[in-house]
Every structure is written in C-alpha cells, then in structure tokens.
Amino acid sequence: MSRNQITIHPVNGHQEKGAKNILAHLPHYYLPGLNTYLLSNIKNSNEAIQFYSVPDRFNLPVPCITLTNIEPKINAVLDMINLKSQWKRENEKLLELCQKKLSLDTLNFVKSTLNSKKPTIYSKIPYVLTRFTSNLMTNPDQYFDSEYNWYFGNTIEKFQINGQWVLACARGVNLDILDIISICDNKFELIQSKNDKLFRNPIFDIKSSLLNDLMIRQKTKLFMFCNNSDSEPILKNYTVYDNCDIPFADADMMANNFCTADVKHFIKLWKDGNCIQNKYLDVMYDQTDSFIHLNYLQNKNNLIGVIDRQKFYLLDTRIDISKPCSIYDPTTFIESCEELTTLSSSCLNSDSIYVTSNHSVLTFDNRMGFVNKSYHMLSNPPSLINVHRYEKNFDSCEMLILGNQTSESLISLPYTSYPDNILLCQSIASSIPNPLQSLHNVQLQGYCLNPLLFDRFSRCLTGTTVIGEHIKDLKLYSINSAGDLFVQKLNDSTPIDVTEFNKNITIKPQTIPKLNYSCIFDMSNLWQLEPSDIHKEINIKKNNFWNMSKKKMLSYVDHLAPIILSPWDIDDLSEWENEDENADVNDDSDCDYATKVNFWFNKNDTLLGSAESKVLNSEPINDNPPTNILSQATTSKIVPSSENDDDSSSGFTVSLKSEDSQ
C-alpha cells in the first residue's frame, strides 16, 4: 500500500496559499508529463512534435467462448483486499479501546503472570485484551497489506502445439480450473482442462518457456507442466513444488531454469528440477508488507531483475544472489508518492526490462541504468503487465500493455529500438476498450439486456496476451476474474456481430426455489365481479351501504350520546335492516324539531347550569364578552317549573329563529 496518499500534483514554489496554480487542483493521473529520455537528440519544439506518432487503436472486445455460470458474490482477486480492509478496521477499533481502558500497570501484571514459572497460572485478563488478541489471530494474511492484490500476475499465456497457437488460462469462479484452448481459423475449442480437484485454490500466474513448458503458480504451490512431445497432452506430466505455508510472491522461468521468491524474501534458483541456491535478499528499508517481484532478462538466464517498493536489484546467478551486483534507486526521478509495482523483460532488447510505478513506466537498460520514463495515466497502480514483439513498416517494435484491478481500461505503449538498442516510446499511452464498453454498444441495439451481465463485464482483467507477428495481424486476448475470455483486433473497424455476441454471453437463469404455502385460496371469482358504475348515484337506504345493526351500535359506550339521543326515542326502534317495519317510524315529515330541542334543554338544565357556574368561576373577567353559541336563539319569559313535571325542570324555554325571520 502506498505510504503517501495520492492527492495533488506537487509543484515547487507554488504551494503558498492563494497561488494561482491549476496543477495543484488535479490528481496525478490526470496530468501526464512528457516522455523523458537519458539520450535525446530533440533540440526544439518542432522536432519534438515530429518525434511523436499517433497511437494505434484496438476495436471493441468480444467474447471468444460461452460464459460459464458462476456465483456473482465471489471475486477471487478482490476478496483478499476486502477481507484485509475489514480486519484492519476492526483491529484499529480494538487497539483504540485497549489504549483507553488498559493501563501500563495492568499489562505489566498480565505479562509477569504469564511469564512466571509456576506449574499452574491464574490470571485475570481484561475482556478488551482478549478480543484484541483474538482478532490478531484472524488476520487473513499477515504478509499482505496493499491496495491491490499483488499475488496475481498474468492468468493467461500463449504457447504452440504442433505449430499452432493455443491459450492456457485460469477459469472458473475461483480461477482454479486450467483450460487449454486451441485457436484455428478464428474458432476456439477447449482441448484440455484440469479441474479444481488438482489445484483447489486460485491460480495466480501462468508463464511459458521457449520449450512450451508451463509454470502455474498458486499461493504456496508451483506446478511445472512439461511438454515432452507434440502428440502427448501437455497437462499429463507435471511436477509440484510445495512451499509449505509460506506463500510465493513471484516466480519466473527461462528454458530449464526457474526462480521463485516468497514473502519472507527468500529467493530460490532451480535448474533441471534441483534447487541450486536458496538465499535471503535483505531489502534496504522497511515496507508495509512483504511485496517482492522478479523477472529474468530476455535470453539471459544468469541475470534476474528484482523489485521491492523502492529499489531495483540486479542479481547475477553465477555468484551469491544474496548480494545484488547492482542496486538502483528510481525515487530520484519519480514522485514522492510513487512505489514500484510490476516489472517485465523486453522482447526487443535483451538488456532492457520495464519497471512500473503508480504513475510511470521506467525502462531499465543493463548497460546504463534507467534510460526512459513514460506516463501510463492509470488511476490505480498497475498490477498487470505484458510485452509483445511485432513488425511495423519493416521495423521491429514491441507493445507494452498495462492494467490494474479495477474496471478501468487497459493501456498500450509502443516502443521502438533506436541506435545502440535503446528503447524509446514515441507515443503517449493509448486506452484499449474494455468489455463493458462492448456490452453498452450491444445493449444500445436492444440485445443482452440481462442486468447480471453488468457485473460480469465490469470485473477486473487478470491476464492479457497478444498473438501476431505483424501489426495487421495483432489480436489481443484478455481474461477477467470470472474466467471470461475476450478478443479484440488492432486497427479494425468491423462492427460487432450482435448475433454471435449474444450467443456467447447467454447466461442460464438462476434456479428459483419453489414457493412454500400453507393455505390455498381460489381467487378466480374475483374476475367475475362486475365493476361498479362510478356515475351512478348510490341509494344508501336501498343498498344498505351504511347501515349498522342496533345491537352493534348499542355495544359502544358514549357518555354524551344518551343525552343527545334521548329526545328522539331511538330505543323504540327495531333493527334497521327491516325497512318495511320501520318505514312509518322513520318518517320525519311531521316531526316538530323545536319542541324536541326545547325538551332537551329543559331536561338537562341541571347539567348545563352546573357547567356554566364552573366556567364563570374559573374564567377571568373580560371586557369583551364571549360569543354565545346560542346567538341564534332568543329567550322568552320565565315559566315556573312544576314539581311533578320531570320533563320540564329548566325554568326557561328556548325558541329557534332563522336569519330569514328576523
């Protein structure tokens, strides 16, 4: 993981507050610099313009073979990064709790108790400390701490069988299946496969030698598949090298020789299946994790280039490899936030090797050191690197392809060899279309609309290789973390064959479990109901729409209702559903409303009088008298109440007058 966070482009002398500097507001990868060279004949701007050339472009990638069904929640590349990030967050929380709740005396007491030589030890350990120590034991990988999975190299490789090119690639949801795919007349056929019973864990890297032998690197195992003859299957004879519980960081092969580097920085040299050297390489500084990568120089099995986060080491296998013959520090001409990430030897120049950092591509020459610096413009550190040699206008060239572990596109940088075999790049980095762009292009035409395809096509690429000797015949093959294989051509404007594209990406629908039910109800009668006419007036009495039974209505308790309903003789009514019996009772045409209202007031005179007295005693005196709720009523003369008349106990009567009568 980068020690310094990538924030803004540093410009010396323009960091003061308020300085008008546009560079200070741009991330690094948005602002590429010019390619720089150790040996350059460019004298003015006109020569510089003529020196650069237009980059070649690839067309949209298309799937080669049918996509396999996988579990979408599994990602063999990014799962380690996510697990490590979760563990680090939990570990930081527990560490902060320990610092707050545990004193130094408590820790010293626990330490002295555990270090005592007593046969039986009794000690009270704080719960926070036990949680912290338990979390330390769940570390997913103590050697790994990075923002990208540097265990992965290139999960696809080309080699020849009977003069024809074939591809060896890691496929399956866990990248634990090795498939050999033949390429003949633009047709792809699976000729051999090694299932997960042999590997059982993800395949991190695939490399081939000039003898068409294959080297398969896993986390702690190394498989060497020997191609003894063109007639026998290549996956028949193999040797397994087990490094026990120590993970391999990288490995490379050259003819009958191969070398390995583990996370403890022990480098082993193997020749004809025998280990001839096993030495520890001491790094020059403390880095955050155990990152180390190595690579043979092309056609030189006695020179190995090794990188850690800051240094480049050149090892000579003819002497003790624990003491590098040369050490180079590129931090003097790269930015302070950059760290070295990958390396690969040149196919065009046996003395050169490419070294990548967070923002740059450095060309190392064995004769004079670093001679070239280019910008790859990737937003994340490159973890994928591949080099291919080809012919262009009768000149030998090679293409450097870089990628990272995001859904970002690959980039290509063309290199040519100038006098004295110095490699130079005459073009800026060119973006290569990714599979997600192809999916968008096809979906705009109305095909491949399955939403599950977005996740498949947006997965990061884990391997690339190029086949072709001339620039017109170059084909780029790439594979992602789901094992999906794609191909694209250089400078080809042929549109995508939508029919063939849709045929290869057809995904079987997921099996849906049967619905468990406990009760069956026939809903077919609902379709036989006639919809009501919204314009038809509803007769409430006729349709009994709002009717409620008398028994149900009397079941409710309301302290005000008996007083209000008593004048209306509701107790004499029968059930409302019987309309014929209640037709005469419900006839309100001759009802004297004024008499019933007066009867209600006279009957409840005592209640109203007591309530009024309480209001007058509680309310303060106000100059503005309150509005009387009986403003529409007039009071007549007082009539003495009869002692035997219970129905008239108020002593006054109320008559209602409308506004029209006044």
CA nearest to 176, candidates 155, 202, 207: 202
Tokens of 122: 């009794």
What is the average per-residue pLDDT within 504-529? 73
Q: What is the pLDDT of residue 532?
A: 62
pLDDT at 645 exceeding the cut of 50: no
CA nearest to 166, candidates 223, 217, 215, 214: 214
pLDDT band of 387, cuts 50, 70, 90:
very high
What is the average per-residue pLDDT within 164-169? 91
| Contacts (Cβ under 8 Å, ≥6 apart) of 371 | 37, 38, 39, 363, 364, 365, 422, 423
pLDDT at 5 exceeding the cut of 90: no
Q: What is the pTM of this model?
A: 0.72
Q: What is the pLDDT of residue 603?
A: 65
pLDDT at 455 exceeding the cut of 70: yes
Tokens of 621: 């005196």
Q: Which of 69-83, 415-429, 512-526 has the highest mean pLDDT?
A: 69-83
Q: What is the pLDDT of residue 283?
A: 75
pLDDT tens figures, 579-595: 555 455 455 555 666 77
Q: Tell me the percentage of the chain whose pLDDT exceeds 90.
A: 37
pLDDT band of 617, cuts 50, 70, 90:
low
pLDDT tens figures, 619-644: 444 444 444 433 334 434 444 444 44
What is the average per-residue pLDDT within 343-351? 92
pLDDT band of 186, cuts 50, 70, 90:
confident
- Of the CA atoms within 13 Å of residue 3, those in its CB half-sphere come to 13
Helix (H) or strand (E) holding 397: strand 395-403
| Contacts (Cβ under 8 Å, ≥6 apart) of 312 | 305, 306, 327, 328, 329, 330, 340, 343, 355, 364
What is the average per-residue pLDDT within 301-328? 92
Round to whole Å and give the CA distance between 554 and 69. Answer: 67
Query: DSSP string of 484-517?
Result: -EEEEEBS--PPP-HHHHHHHT--PPPPPPPPP-
Round to whole Å and give the CA distance between 477 and 459. Answer: 15
The region of weakest confidence among 234-243, 430-439, 477-486, 618-627 is: 618-627
What is the average per-residue pLDDT within 596-605? 69
Round to whole Å and give the CA distance between 443 and 498. Answer: 10
Higher-pLDDT residue of 542, 161: 161
Q: Tell me the percentage of the chain whose pLDDT exceeds 70.
A: 74
Q: What is the pLDDT of residue 489?
A: 93
pLDDT at 340 exceeding the cut of 80: yes
CA nearest to 127, candidates 174, 94, 82: 94
Higher-pLDDT residue of 568, 335: 335
Q: What is the pLDDT of residue 622?
A: 46
